[in-house]
Amino acid sequence: MTLLAAALAALVTAAAGPAAAPAAPAAGPGAPGAETAVAGSESAQLVDARAAALDELGQAVVSYPFTLARFESCVAAVKELRAAARGRPDLAQPLRGLGSGRLTSLERAAGRLESIPDVKAILAKHGLSGRDLLLMPTVIQSSRLAHFAVQGGRPPPADRSNAAALEVIRTEGPRVEKLYQGYAADLAALRKMR
């Protein structure tokens, strides 16, 4: 599941929860149902946090400066990170979340990745940042889905697809798809490493 799809699913699920929850009781903290009111306010805070993360992620995906060369660099970096993480739990653990949807703050997560010397060195070798590494799975997956929508006669979702990536997929489809298959396999392998 893409980061954007996971964030959307979490947002929709969380947004439906408070609407279905019982109304907050008028009585004080010790009254029956007070726990429900507290849980409801915590749920509302969670919805707000997820909405902010979704908004940040959505904007980042749409505005990401995608190029085929950058995608190829990311594919190569992920392959190299996968090889480097074999047998190294200290390196595998922070990489398991790539493309999984478990993103709370893009900049904070990118900073955490870049603080790992081996990851930082591999990213630098390929001219990438932690932000590139985190965004690319969502950019490419959401753009592939938008491309499939266009092929099916529907317009791409402008608020969730990257126009540059969509154009590259349209013009370089078979090449992008071949790269994507290896990339997706490497991401899946990283997520399974212990």
> If pLDDT is split at 50, 70 and 90, which confidence band does 44 have?
low
165 and 95 co-located in one domain: yes
Residue 46 pLDDT greater than 90, yes or no? no
92 and 169 co-located in one domain: yes
- What are the tokens at 188? 């899946």
Mark which of 62, 96, 112 sits at the end of a domain: 62
* Angle (deg, nearest 10), helices 163-171 and 130-151: 60
Name the percent of the chain lying above pLDDT 70.
68
Q: Which of 148, 135, 22 is nearest to 71 (CA)?
A: 135
Dist. CA 20–CA 15, nearest whole Å: 9
Average per-residue pLDDT for the chain? 77
At position 139, the amino acid (one-letter code) is V
Minimum mean pLDDT among 4-13, 31-40, 48-57, 130-139: which range? 4-13
54 and 70 co-located in one domain: no
Residue 10 pLDDT greater than 60, yes or no? no
Overall domain count for the chain: 2
What predicted TM-score, i.e. pTM, was given to this entire model? 0.69
Helix (H, G, I), strand (E, B) or coil at 10: helix
105 and 154 co-located in one domain: yes
